Amino acid sequence: MTEQTSLDEISELDFEIIKKLSIDGRISHRQLAKDLGNKSPVTIKNHVENLENLGIIINYGAKINYEKLGYGIMGIIEVTISKGKMFEVEEKIAENPNVFGVYDITGTYDALILARFKTREELSKMIKEIHKSPNVERTNTHFVLNTIKEASSFVTLIEKGETK
């Protein structure tokens, strides 16, 4: 989404649709219509399409338990990058299939990388690959020991905003 969407463009029904889809992305338009006060499924479909066109709904997916698939190691890698080369380095790192998050950050480091691995050796190999870049000054790597919370809930977020 290149432009900021005005909150005026989003109706109360849109927010209710977003809440329901954030809980269950597979819910049918017919079920959404029923759950939201017996609206027309066509009305719901039109609202969903509008939310997609506005770039508010950007994808649908399943939550995966990566540990059960053998990816039990999560690394958080902080990277300091030479001035003027941040986007170039981040794009290269993002190509690694183990990487699921690349963020520009403030503070001591320039970028934050989130990645999943089956073995420590895979993580080590990736760190060494990152260090091959002449534009990477240093890294700081963390192993995630326990995951307390890994998802954000639009429902909780929007309800928090409604209480103010």
Average pLDDT on 91-101 reads: 97
Please check whether residue 76 lies inside any domain of the structure.
yes
The verdict on 39 and 76 lying in the same domain is: no
C-alpha to C-alpha distances, 31 to 24, 41, 81, 93, nearest whole angstrom: 11, 8, 49, 41
How many Cα atoms within 13 Å fall on the side-chain side of residue 162? 9
Please check whether residue 110 lies inside any domain of the structure.
yes
For the four alpha carbons of 31, 34, 37 and 43, in that order, the dihedral sign comes to: positive
10 in helix, strand or coil?
A: coil
The verdict on 83 and 126 lying in the same domain is: yes
Three state DSSP letters for 63-116: CCCCHHHCCCEEEEEEEEECCCCHHHHHHHHHCCCCEEEEEECCCCCCEEEEEE
Q: Tally the domains of the chain.
A: 2
Please check whether residue 155 lies inside any domain of the structure.
no
Average pLDDT on 129-146 reads: 96
Query: Is 80 exceeded by the pLDDT of residue 6?
Result: no
Q: What is the pLDDT of residue 42?
A: 96
Give the pLDDT band (50/70/90) at residue 3. low
Angle at 163 between CA 157 and CA 164, to 5 degrees: 100
pLDDT tens per residue across span 9-53: 789 999 999 999 988 999 999 999 999 999 999 999 999 999 999
Contact 137, 80 (CB under 8 A): yes
Give the pLDDT band (50/70/90) at residue 74. very high
Q: Are strands 99-104 and 136-143 parallel, antiparallel or unpaired?
A: unpaired
Query: Is 70 exceeded by the pLDDT of residue 5?
Result: no
The verdict on 74 and 47 lying in the same domain is: no
Q: What is the pLDDT of residue 162?
A: 65
Q: What is the CA radius of gyration of the chain?
A: 20
Q: What is the pLDDT of residue 1?
A: 38
CATH code where residue 76 lies: 3.30.70.920
C-alpha to C-alpha distances, 48 to 4, 33, 66, 155, nearest whole angstrom: 18, 11, 29, 17
Query: Is 50 exceeded by the pLDDT of residue 2?
Result: no
Residue-range definition of the domain harbouring residue 138: 67-143
The verdict on 48 and 71 lying in the same domain is: no
Give the pLDDT band (50/70/90) at residue 161. low
The verdict on 137 and 115 lying in the same domain is: yes
CATH code where residue 22 lies: 1.10.10.10
The verdict on 40 and 73 lying in the same domain is: no
Query: Percent of the chain at pLDDT above 90?
Result: 77
Please check whether residue 124 lies inside any domain of the structure.
yes
